[in-house]
Amino acid sequence: MNTTAPNPGSANAQGAKVQDTRGLAGQTIGETAICEVNQTQLIYRGFEIADLAEHATFDAVAFLLLVGHKPTAQELDDFKREQSQLRAIPTSVRDAVIRICKESPHAHPMSILRTGVSLLSHLDPECEGLAPDAELRKSKRLLAQIPTVIGVCQHALEGKDPVAPDPSLDHAANLLWCITGKRPNEIAARIMDVSLVLYAEHDFNASTFSARVIASTEADMHSAVCGAIGALKGSLHGGANEMAMEMLKDIDRDCAGGAMNVQAWMKRAFAEKRKLMGFGHRVYKNGDHRAPILRSWGLKLAKNLGPSAQKWFDIGDEVQAIMLRDKAIHPNVDFPCGMTYFIMGIPVPQYTPIFVASRITGWCAHIMEQHQNNRIIRPLASYSGPAIQCW
């Protein structure tokens, strides 16, 4: 029998529209105590994202996600101290990352970071352990070491020696230091911190689901994280913030000198059916509530930096207004992220690795949750191939 799956938006024999469930759209495939995503809220272990972005730090949010409760002042101090002591990476890993960057300068930093995490696994004495205490220790090490790997990569791509992690800095500020080699000022460190809070967790998104599928086979944490990095690399997931900024740069270039304006550029993009990155979301149909939080911080920095920075938000606001008016599509958090990171002087190819420096907390929390109450994830498929034939 040929059991053909319904086409998207097709009708059944009674004329009722059949829901398009490709990509598991609208399907609930498991439970989690880590995060809730709905139309109006994003909640990490009972704490709403706007509250966390305003009142918490990323270090505190990382503790919340990994350990499972809001840290006391002493617990947070101990956690930050422990993290500062875990940031160094083995010399062999550092040298391997530098060599890859020198010999393959066009390799994507996400691919290099994926390799860096894989190399770290071989030198982690608890790599194969699935016990909860071992997994928590591995999570902490990955959280601390990933910014160092990112920094080594960026400096190598620039032909420079890497800087050592700074134990006096919090996670976000140290990440900026490792990438740029410059001590961030207060507003830059705060903006990075807020962006990491916003990106830390998002229930069963593509990369987290990938990590849980891998973890469900009883594979080790590093393997699951490598798979998650591979999933996040894609332009429809983590890479969207890079593509959003590249789109704005295209608009600025094409509109330079007055030969074209943003309205005309967007009209042409619509006619060419160009995919405009940084807009729309599978869950947030009425707008991603993380986007205005990051936009407000980015705009504050742009105003301080002057017209050359402000222009990106002017272009972005015009693009956003046209998308809402003509397509009724809202921006997601990747749209203001691209502009904000750009005016901070962060190289565009490092946007998604920065995402990893945040989302590693959510991934590890989900990997631990999966291992603690495991059943291998093995969904069914609806066959749409030919009927049985004789060979």
**How far, in Å, are 35, 189, 283 from residue 288 at the CA level?**
16, 23, 9
Q: Any idea which residue has 């505190």 for tokens? A: 60
Residue 12 resides in a domain: no
Q: Are residues 123 and 73 in the same domain?
A: yes
Residue 384 resides in a domain: no
Q: Are residues 211 and 330 in the same domain?
A: no
Mean of pLDDT values over 64-73: 98
pLDDT computed for residue 18 by the predictor: 53
Q: Which domain holds residue 85?
A: 44-234+349-372
pLDDT computed for residue 223 by the predictor: 98
Residue 10 resides in a domain: no
| Amino acid identity for residue 144 in this structure | A
pLDDT computed for residue 110 by the predictor: 97
Q: Are residues 229 and 256 in the same domain?
A: no
Q: Are residues 78 and 142 in the same domain?
A: yes
The residues with which 43 forms a beta bridge, in sequence order, are 36, 48
Residue 1 resides in a domain: no
Q: Are residues 173 and 72 in the same domain?
A: yes
Q: Are residues 186 and 270 in the same domain?
A: no
pLDDT computed for residue 236 by the predictor: 81
pLDDT computed for residue 373 by the predictor: 93
Burial of 235 (0-12, 13-18, 19+ CB in 10 A): middle
pLDDT above 80 (res 37): yes
pLDDT above 90 (res 258): no
Indicate the pLDDT class of residue 19, thresholds 50, 70 and 90. Answer: low
Indicate the pLDDT class of residue 201, thresholds 50, 70 and 90. Answer: very high
Pairing mode of beta strands 47-48, 35-37: unpaired
Indicate the pLDDT class of residue 286, thresholds 50, 70 and 90. Answer: confident
Active site residues: 237, 281, 334
Residue 14 resides in a domain: no
Question: What CATH number should be reported for the domain holding residue 307?
Answer: 1.10.230.10
Compute the residue count for the chain: 391
pLDDT computed for residue 12 by the predictor: 46
Torsion of CA 235, 208, 210, 154, to 10 degrees: 50
Q: What whole-number distance in Å separates Cα of residue 348 and Cα of residue 316?
A: 16
User: Which region, left, alpha or beta, applies to residue 344 given φ > 0 means left and ψ of -120 to 50 means alpha?
Assistant: alpha
Q: Are residues 230 and 256 in the same domain?
A: no
Q: Are residues 52 and 153 in the same domain?
A: yes
Mean of pLDDT values over 323-329: 93
> What burial letters (b/e) apply to 220-233, b meaning 16+ CB within 10 Å?
bbbbbbbbbbebbb
Indicate the pLDDT class of residue 6, thresholds 50, 70 and 90. Answer: very low
The chain-wide mean pLDDT, for the chain, equals: 92
pLDDT above 90 (res 75): yes
pLDDT above 80 (res 14): no
Backbone dihedral angles phi then psi of residue 47, each to the nearest 5 degrees: -115, 125
Question: What CATH number should be reported for the domain holding residue 64?
Answer: 1.10.580.10
Residue 21 resides in a domain: no
Q: Any idea which residue has 């140290």 for tokens? A: 174
Least confident of 73-77, 85-89, 330-334: 330-334
Query: What token pair was written down for 211?
Result: 């990590």
Residue 390 resides in a domain: no
Mean of pLDDT values over 174-190: 96
Q: Are residues 79 and 146 in the same domain?
A: yes
Q: What is the reported pTM?
A: 0.90
Q: Are residues 217 and 244 in the same domain?
A: no
Count of structural domains within the chain: 2
Q: Are residues 75 and 203 in the same domain?
A: yes
Residue 39 resides in a domain: no
Least confident of 2-11, 173-182, 350-359: 2-11
Instruction: Give tens-digit pLDDT for 349-382.
Output: 999 999 999 999 999 999 999 999 999 999 888 8
Q: Are residues 213 and 270 in the same domain?
A: no
pLDDT computed for residue 59 by the predictor: 98
